[in-house]
Amino acid sequence: MTAYLVRRVLYAIPILLGVNLITFALFFAINSPEDMARLALGGKRVTAEAVEKWKSDKGYDKPYFYDAEASGFARITDTIFFTKSARMFVFDFGAADDGRDIAGEMRARIGPSLAIALPTFVVGIACYITFALLLAFFRATYVDISGVVACVVAMSISGLFYIIAGQYLISKLWHLVPISGFSGGFGALKFIVLPVAIGIVGGVGASTRWYRTIFLEEINKDYVRTARARGLAESRILFRHVLKNAMIPILTGVVVVIPTLFLGSLIMESFFSIPGLGSYTIDAINDQDYGIVRSMVFLGSFLYIVGLILTDISYTLADPRVRLQ
Protein backbone atom coordinates (compact mmCIF):
# COMPACT_ATOMS: atom_id res chain seq x y z
CA MET A 1 0.00 0.00 0.00
CA THR A 2 2.90 2.36 0.73
CA ALA A 3 4.24 1.82 -2.76
CA TYR A 4 0.79 2.55 -4.17
CA LEU A 5 0.48 5.76 -2.18
CA VAL A 6 3.95 6.91 -3.21
CA ARG A 7 2.98 6.30 -6.84
CA ARG A 8 -0.24 8.23 -6.42
CA VAL A 9 1.58 11.15 -4.82
CA LEU A 10 4.12 11.17 -7.65
CA TYR A 11 1.27 11.02 -10.17
CA ALA A 12 -0.13 14.16 -8.56
CA ILE A 13 2.91 16.18 -9.65
CA PRO A 14 2.21 16.10 -13.42
CA ILE A 15 -1.43 16.89 -12.70
CA LEU A 16 -0.53 19.94 -10.63
CA LEU A 17 1.96 20.93 -13.30
CA GLY A 18 -0.85 20.65 -15.86
CA VAL A 19 -3.11 22.77 -13.67
CA ASN A 20 -0.35 25.33 -13.47
CA LEU A 21 0.12 25.37 -17.22
CA ILE A 22 -3.62 25.76 -17.83
CA THR A 23 -3.92 28.68 -15.43
CA PHE A 24 -0.74 30.18 -16.79
CA ALA A 25 -2.08 29.97 -20.34
CA LEU A 26 -5.40 31.44 -19.20
CA PHE A 27 -3.83 34.37 -17.42
CA PHE A 28 -0.93 35.23 -19.71
CA ALA A 29 -1.56 33.85 -23.20
CA ILE A 30 -5.04 35.34 -23.80
CA ASN A 31 -3.98 38.76 -22.59
CA SER A 32 -0.39 39.85 -22.85
CA PRO A 33 1.09 41.71 -19.86
CA GLU A 34 0.86 44.90 -21.97
CA ASP A 35 -2.90 44.51 -22.30
CA MET A 36 -3.22 43.86 -18.58
CA ALA A 37 -1.16 46.90 -17.74
CA ARG A 38 -3.26 49.14 -19.98
CA LEU A 39 -6.43 47.73 -18.45
CA ALA A 40 -5.16 48.17 -14.90
CA LEU A 41 -3.93 51.70 -15.53
CA GLY A 42 -7.08 52.49 -17.47
CA GLY A 43 -7.76 53.79 -20.93
CA LYS A 44 -5.75 53.91 -24.09
CA ARG A 45 -3.74 57.05 -23.33
CA VAL A 46 -1.23 55.34 -21.12
CA THR A 47 2.41 56.14 -21.67
CA ALA A 48 4.82 53.36 -22.51
CA GLU A 49 6.85 54.24 -19.41
CA ALA A 50 3.86 53.74 -17.14
CA VAL A 51 3.19 50.35 -18.71
CA GLU A 52 6.82 49.33 -18.26
CA LYS A 53 6.77 50.50 -14.65
CA TRP A 54 3.58 48.56 -13.91
CA LYS A 55 5.10 45.46 -15.46
CA SER A 56 8.32 45.65 -13.52
CA ASP A 57 6.45 46.39 -10.27
CA LYS A 58 4.34 43.28 -10.73
CA GLY A 59 7.22 41.21 -12.04
CA TYR A 60 5.63 40.77 -15.47
CA ASP A 61 8.57 42.20 -17.40
CA LYS A 62 10.29 38.85 -17.81
CA PRO A 63 10.06 36.30 -20.65
CA TYR A 64 7.34 33.63 -20.36
CA PHE A 65 9.24 30.36 -20.09
CA TYR A 66 12.87 30.75 -21.05
CA ASP A 67 15.25 33.64 -20.57
CA ALA A 68 17.99 33.35 -23.20
CA GLU A 69 19.90 36.34 -21.89
CA ALA A 70 20.40 35.07 -18.36
CA SER A 71 22.90 32.39 -17.45
CA GLY A 72 22.73 29.13 -15.53
CA PHE A 73 19.55 28.39 -13.58
CA ALA A 74 18.39 31.94 -13.97
CA ARG A 75 17.48 31.05 -17.57
CA ILE A 76 14.53 29.13 -16.19
CA THR A 77 14.01 30.76 -12.81
CA ASP A 78 14.01 34.34 -14.05
CA THR A 79 10.78 33.91 -16.06
CA ILE A 80 7.13 34.73 -15.46
CA PHE A 81 6.17 31.06 -15.37
CA PHE A 82 8.71 30.24 -12.70
CA THR A 83 8.19 33.27 -10.49
CA LYS A 84 4.40 33.33 -10.78
CA SER A 85 3.34 29.71 -11.24
CA ALA A 86 6.02 27.19 -10.37
CA ARG A 87 6.62 28.75 -6.97
CA MET A 88 3.19 27.60 -5.89
CA PHE A 89 4.47 24.03 -5.58
CA VAL A 90 6.01 25.01 -2.25
CA PHE A 91 2.90 27.04 -1.34
CA ASP A 92 4.69 30.30 -1.91
CA PHE A 93 1.89 32.34 -3.45
CA GLY A 94 3.58 35.72 -3.34
CA ALA A 95 1.79 38.94 -2.47
CA ALA A 96 -1.70 40.08 -3.40
CA ASP A 97 -2.34 43.39 -5.15
CA ASP A 98 -2.75 45.10 -1.78
CA GLY A 99 0.72 43.86 -0.79
CA ARG A 100 -0.38 41.29 1.77
CA ASP A 101 1.03 37.77 1.73
CA ILE A 102 -1.51 35.45 0.07
CA ALA A 103 -0.40 32.30 1.90
CA GLY A 104 -0.67 33.99 5.30
CA GLU A 105 -4.11 35.36 4.45
CA MET A 106 -5.22 31.87 3.40
CA ARG A 107 -4.02 30.33 6.67
CA ALA A 108 -6.02 32.88 8.63
CA ARG A 109 -9.14 32.31 6.53
CA ILE A 110 -9.17 28.52 6.40
CA GLY A 111 -10.59 28.30 9.95
CA PRO A 112 -13.85 30.18 9.31
CA SER A 113 -14.24 28.34 5.99
CA LEU A 114 -13.97 24.96 7.69
CA ALA A 115 -16.30 26.08 10.49
CA ILE A 116 -19.05 26.31 7.84
CA ALA A 117 -18.08 23.63 5.35
CA LEU A 118 -17.26 20.81 7.75
CA PRO A 119 -20.52 20.72 9.77
CA THR A 120 -22.52 21.18 6.55
CA PHE A 121 -20.72 18.23 5.03
CA VAL A 122 -20.83 15.83 8.00
CA VAL A 123 -24.31 16.59 9.31
CA GLY A 124 -25.59 16.84 5.75
CA ILE A 125 -24.41 13.38 4.76
CA ALA A 126 -25.82 11.89 7.96
CA CYS A 127 -29.21 13.49 7.23
CA TYR A 128 -29.28 12.50 3.56
CA ILE A 129 -28.37 8.88 4.27
CA THR A 130 -31.02 8.67 6.98
CA PHE A 131 -33.70 10.10 4.67
CA ALA A 132 -32.61 7.82 1.84
CA LEU A 133 -32.72 4.75 4.09
CA LEU A 134 -36.21 5.75 5.20
CA LEU A 135 -37.37 6.09 1.60
CA ALA A 136 -35.76 2.75 0.75
CA PHE A 137 -37.46 1.19 3.75
CA PHE A 138 -40.87 2.44 2.60
CA ARG A 139 -40.08 1.79 -1.08
CA ALA A 140 -42.97 1.72 -3.56
CA THR A 141 -45.39 3.14 -0.97
CA TYR A 142 -46.87 6.61 -0.87
CA VAL A 143 -44.17 7.68 1.60
CA ASP A 144 -41.50 6.81 -0.95
CA ILE A 145 -43.32 8.35 -3.92
CA SER A 146 -44.10 11.63 -2.16
CA GLY A 147 -40.54 11.68 -0.83
CA VAL A 148 -39.12 11.38 -4.34
CA VAL A 149 -41.49 14.05 -5.65
CA ALA A 150 -40.38 16.34 -2.81
CA CYS A 151 -36.76 15.64 -3.71
CA VAL A 152 -37.28 16.53 -7.38
CA VAL A 153 -39.01 19.78 -6.43
CA ALA A 154 -36.31 20.59 -3.86
CA MET A 155 -33.52 20.05 -6.37
CA SER A 156 -35.28 22.26 -8.92
CA ILE A 157 -35.15 25.25 -6.60
CA SER A 158 -32.15 27.53 -6.99
CA GLY A 159 -29.68 27.41 -4.12
CA LEU A 160 -29.84 31.19 -3.95
CA PHE A 161 -33.52 30.91 -3.01
CA TYR A 162 -32.77 28.82 0.07
CA ILE A 163 -30.21 31.38 1.24
CA ILE A 164 -32.38 34.42 0.65
CA ALA A 165 -35.51 32.81 2.09
CA GLY A 166 -33.60 31.50 5.10
CA GLN A 167 -32.02 34.84 5.86
CA TYR A 168 -35.34 36.60 5.47
CA LEU A 169 -37.40 34.21 7.61
CA ILE A 170 -35.00 33.27 10.38
CA SER A 171 -32.92 36.40 10.77
CA LYS A 172 -35.13 39.21 9.60
CA LEU A 173 -38.61 38.10 10.65
CA TRP A 174 -37.93 35.88 13.65
CA HIS A 175 -34.64 37.44 14.81
CA LEU A 176 -33.29 34.04 15.89
CA VAL A 177 -29.71 34.52 14.67
CA PRO A 178 -27.81 37.47 13.19
CA ILE A 179 -28.17 37.89 9.42
CA SER A 180 -24.46 37.72 8.76
CA GLY A 181 -21.05 38.10 10.35
CA PHE A 182 -18.52 36.02 12.18
CA SER A 183 -16.56 35.95 15.41
CA GLY A 184 -13.92 33.74 16.96
CA GLY A 185 -14.35 31.07 19.63
CA PHE A 186 -17.75 29.83 20.80
CA GLY A 187 -19.33 33.12 19.83
CA ALA A 188 -19.12 31.89 16.26
CA LEU A 189 -21.84 29.31 16.92
CA LYS A 190 -24.74 31.69 16.37
CA PHE A 191 -23.24 32.78 13.06
CA ILE A 192 -22.62 29.23 11.91
CA VAL A 193 -26.02 27.66 12.57
CA LEU A 194 -27.94 29.34 9.76
CA PRO A 195 -25.46 28.85 6.90
CA VAL A 196 -24.97 25.23 7.91
CA ALA A 197 -28.71 24.59 8.10
CA ILE A 198 -29.27 26.26 4.73
CA GLY A 199 -26.38 24.35 3.20
CA ILE A 200 -27.93 21.09 4.36
CA VAL A 201 -31.44 21.97 3.18
CA GLY A 202 -30.09 23.14 -0.17
CA GLY A 203 -28.54 19.76 -0.92
CA VAL A 204 -31.30 17.57 0.43
CA GLY A 205 -33.15 16.95 -2.84
CA ALA A 206 -30.37 15.80 -5.11
CA SER A 207 -28.43 13.88 -2.45
CA THR A 208 -31.34 12.00 -0.92
CA ARG A 209 -32.51 10.91 -4.33
CA TRP A 210 -29.03 9.79 -5.28
CA TYR A 211 -28.46 7.77 -2.09
CA ARG A 212 -31.91 6.22 -2.46
CA THR A 213 -30.95 4.97 -5.93
CA ILE A 214 -27.79 3.40 -4.50
CA PHE A 215 -29.70 1.68 -1.72
CA LEU A 216 -32.41 0.41 -4.06
CA GLU A 217 -29.78 -1.01 -6.38
CA GLU A 218 -28.24 -2.82 -3.42
CA ILE A 219 -31.62 -4.03 -2.12
CA ASN A 220 -32.29 -5.93 -5.34
CA LYS A 221 -29.19 -8.09 -4.90
CA ASP A 222 -29.21 -11.77 -4.06
CA TYR A 223 -27.71 -11.60 -0.60
CA VAL A 224 -30.54 -9.34 0.56
CA ARG A 225 -33.09 -11.86 -0.65
CA THR A 226 -31.18 -14.59 1.20
CA ALA A 227 -31.15 -12.53 4.37
CA ARG A 228 -34.88 -11.92 4.01
CA ALA A 229 -35.49 -15.64 3.40
CA ARG A 230 -33.68 -16.41 6.60
CA GLY A 231 -36.16 -14.26 8.44
CA LEU A 232 -34.14 -11.15 9.23
CA ALA A 233 -36.13 -8.05 10.03
CA GLU A 234 -36.27 -5.52 7.18
CA SER A 235 -34.76 -2.79 9.35
CA ARG A 236 -31.85 -5.04 10.30
CA ILE A 237 -31.23 -5.90 6.65
CA LEU A 238 -31.21 -2.23 5.74
CA PHE A 239 -28.98 -0.92 8.48
CA ARG A 240 -26.61 -3.84 8.90
CA HIS A 241 -26.25 -5.24 5.41
CA VAL A 242 -27.39 -2.79 2.75
CA LEU A 243 -25.82 0.25 4.38
CA LYS A 244 -22.46 -1.48 4.74
CA ASN A 245 -22.43 -2.75 1.18
CA ALA A 246 -23.52 0.56 -0.25
CA MET A 247 -20.47 2.18 1.28
CA ILE A 248 -18.27 1.93 -1.83
CA PRO A 249 -20.53 3.87 -4.20
CA ILE A 250 -21.27 6.32 -1.39
CA LEU A 251 -17.59 6.93 -0.73
CA THR A 252 -16.93 7.47 -4.45
CA GLY A 253 -19.66 10.05 -4.58
CA VAL A 254 -18.74 11.83 -1.37
CA VAL A 255 -15.38 12.77 -2.83
CA VAL A 256 -17.06 14.09 -5.94
CA VAL A 257 -18.97 16.36 -3.58
CA ILE A 258 -15.86 17.79 -1.91
CA PRO A 259 -14.83 20.14 -4.75
CA THR A 260 -18.44 21.32 -5.11
CA LEU A 261 -18.44 22.09 -1.36
CA PHE A 262 -16.06 24.79 -2.45
CA LEU A 263 -18.67 26.35 -4.68
CA GLY A 264 -21.28 26.19 -1.94
CA SER A 265 -19.08 27.97 0.51
CA LEU A 266 -18.19 30.56 -2.11
CA ILE A 267 -21.82 31.71 -2.25
CA MET A 268 -22.54 30.96 1.40
CA GLU A 269 -19.58 32.95 2.71
CA SER A 270 -20.34 35.96 0.59
CA PHE A 271 -24.01 36.02 1.66
CA PHE A 272 -23.20 35.57 5.34
CA SER A 273 -20.01 37.68 5.15
CA ILE A 274 -17.86 35.00 6.70
CA PRO A 275 -14.15 35.83 6.40
CA GLY A 276 -13.23 32.52 4.78
CA LEU A 277 -11.55 31.41 1.58
CA GLY A 278 -14.77 31.65 -0.41
CA SER A 279 -15.36 35.31 0.28
CA TYR A 280 -11.64 35.90 -0.28
CA THR A 281 -12.02 34.45 -3.77
CA ILE A 282 -15.18 36.43 -4.52
CA ASP A 283 -13.50 39.65 -3.42
CA ALA A 284 -10.49 38.78 -5.57
CA ILE A 285 -12.76 38.15 -8.57
CA ASN A 286 -14.52 41.48 -8.05
CA ASP A 287 -11.23 43.34 -7.56
CA GLN A 288 -9.68 41.46 -10.50
CA ASP A 289 -6.75 40.35 -8.31
CA TYR A 290 -5.40 37.61 -10.56
CA GLY A 291 -2.70 36.49 -8.12
CA ILE A 292 -5.27 35.38 -5.56
CA VAL A 293 -7.47 33.64 -8.14
CA ARG A 294 -4.42 31.77 -9.44
CA SER A 295 -3.43 30.70 -5.95
CA MET A 296 -6.95 29.54 -5.15
CA VAL A 297 -7.04 27.46 -8.33
CA PHE A 298 -3.82 25.79 -7.30
CA LEU A 299 -5.01 25.20 -3.73
CA GLY A 300 -8.32 23.82 -4.99
CA SER A 301 -6.63 21.34 -7.32
CA PHE A 302 -4.22 20.30 -4.61
CA LEU A 303 -7.08 19.58 -2.20
CA TYR A 304 -8.95 17.68 -4.90
CA ILE A 305 -5.98 15.40 -5.50
CA VAL A 306 -5.63 14.82 -1.76
CA GLY A 307 -9.32 13.91 -1.80
CA LEU A 308 -8.75 11.36 -4.58
CA ILE A 309 -5.96 9.67 -2.63
CA LEU A 310 -8.08 9.65 0.52
CA THR A 311 -10.92 7.95 -1.39
CA ASP A 312 -8.61 5.14 -2.37
CA ILE A 313 -7.52 4.69 1.24
CA SER A 314 -11.11 4.77 2.43
CA TYR A 315 -11.95 1.92 0.01
CA THR A 316 -9.54 -0.37 1.81
CA LEU A 317 -11.09 0.58 5.13
CA ALA A 318 -14.68 0.06 3.93
CA ASP A 319 -14.11 -3.09 1.90
CA PRO A 320 -11.44 -5.58 3.03
CA ARG A 321 -11.42 -7.12 -0.45
CA VAL A 322 -9.93 -3.96 -1.96
CA ARG A 323 -6.15 -4.07 -2.00
CA LEU A 324 -4.11 -1.18 -3.28
CA GLN A 325 -1.07 -2.27 -5.21
Partner 1 sequence: MMPFKIVILWTDAILFLLIGIVVAFCFYARARPHMSQPWRYVIHSKQGMAALVFLAFFLVVGVLDSLHFRPRLSGTDETQRATFAVQTLSALDVVATPLRTRTEKTYSAPLATHLFAKETVELPGGGQARVFPRLAFGGAHLADPHADWSTDVFRTAIVGFGGGVIVWTILAFLVTGVVANTSGRGVVQTWRAIWRDQEAVPWRVILISAAALIVVLAPMLALCVKYHVLGTDKVGQDVFYLSLKSIRTGLVIAILATLVMLPFALVLGIMAGYFRGWIDDVIQYVYTTLNSIPHVLLIAAAVLMMQAYMGTHPELFDTVEQRQDLRLLFLCLILGVTNWTGLCRLLRGETLKLRELEYVQAARAFGVSNTSILTRHILPNVMHIVLITVVMDFSGLVLAEAVLSYVGVGVDPTMISFGNMINAARLEMAREPMVWWSLASAFVFMLLMVLSANLFADAVRDAFDPRIARPVKRDGAAMVVVKS
Site of interaction with partner 1 (CB under 8 A): 14-15, 18-19, 22-23, 26-27, 30-31, 35-36, 38-39, 140, 152-153, 155-161, 164, 167-168, 172, 220, 259-260, 262-263, 266-267, 270, 281-282, 285-286, 288, 290, 293-294, 296-297, 300-301, 304-305, 308
Smaller CB separation from partner 1, 40 or 232: 40
Q: Using CA atoms, how far apart are residues 200 and 207, in angstroms rounded to an integer?
A: 10
- Enumerate residues 6+ apart whose C-beta is below 8 A from 186: none
Please state the closest distance from residue 8 (CB atom) to partner 1, in A.
12
Please state the closest distance from residue 161 (CB atom) to partner 1, in A.
5
Smaller CB separation from partner 1, 1 or 153: 153
The torsion region of residue 42 among left (phi > 0), alpha (psi -120 to 50) and beta comes to left
Q: Are the C-beta atoms of residues 87 and 20 closer than 8 Å to each other?
A: no
Smaller CB separation from partner 1, 200 or 277: 277
Q: How many CB atoms are located within 10 Å of the residue 135 CB?
A: 24
Based on the number of CB atoms within 10 Å of its own CB, is 8 exposed (0-12), middle (13-18) or buried (19 or more)?
Answer: middle
Q: H or E element: which one contains 34?
A: helix 33-41
Q: Are the C-beta atoms of residues 188 and 115 closer than 8 Å to each other?
A: yes
Please state the closest distance from residue 169 (CB atom) to partner 1, in A.
12
Give per-residue burial for 288-307: e unless 16+ CB within 10 Å, then b.
Answer: ebbbbbbbbbbbebbebbeb
Smaller CB separation from partner 1, 9 or 263: 263
- Enumerate residues 6+ apart whose C-beta is below 8 A from 72: none
Please state the closest distance from residue 24 (CB atom) to partner 1, in A.
11
Please state the closest distance from residue 186 (CB atom) to partner 1, in A.
28
The Cβ-side half-sphere exposure at 53, using a 13 Å CA radius, reads 6
Smaller CB separation from partner 1, 9 or 126: 9
Smaller CB separation from partner 1, 16 or 70: 16
Smaller CB separation from partner 1, 86 or 188: 86
**Long-range contacts of residues 224-232, Cβ cutoff 8 Å, at least 24 apart:** none
Please state the closest distance from residue 73 (CB atom) to partner 1, in A.
27
Smaller CB separation from partner 1, 70 or 170: 170
Please state the closest distance from residue 75 (CB atom) to partner 1, in A.
27
Smaller CB separation from partner 1, 200 or 266: 266
The torsion region of residue 86 among left (phi > 0), alpha (psi -120 to 50) and beta comes to alpha
Please state the closest distance from residue 72 (CB atom) to partner 1, in A.
31
Q: Using CA atoms, how far apart are residues 16 and 182, in angstroms rounded to an integer?
A: 33
Q: Using CA atoms, how far apart are residues 195 and 163, in angstroms rounded to an integer?
A: 8
Based on the number of CB atoms within 10 Å of its own CB, is 158 exposed (0-12), middle (13-18) or buried (19 or more)?
Answer: exposed
Please state the closest distance from residue 96 (CB atom) to partner 1, in A.
15
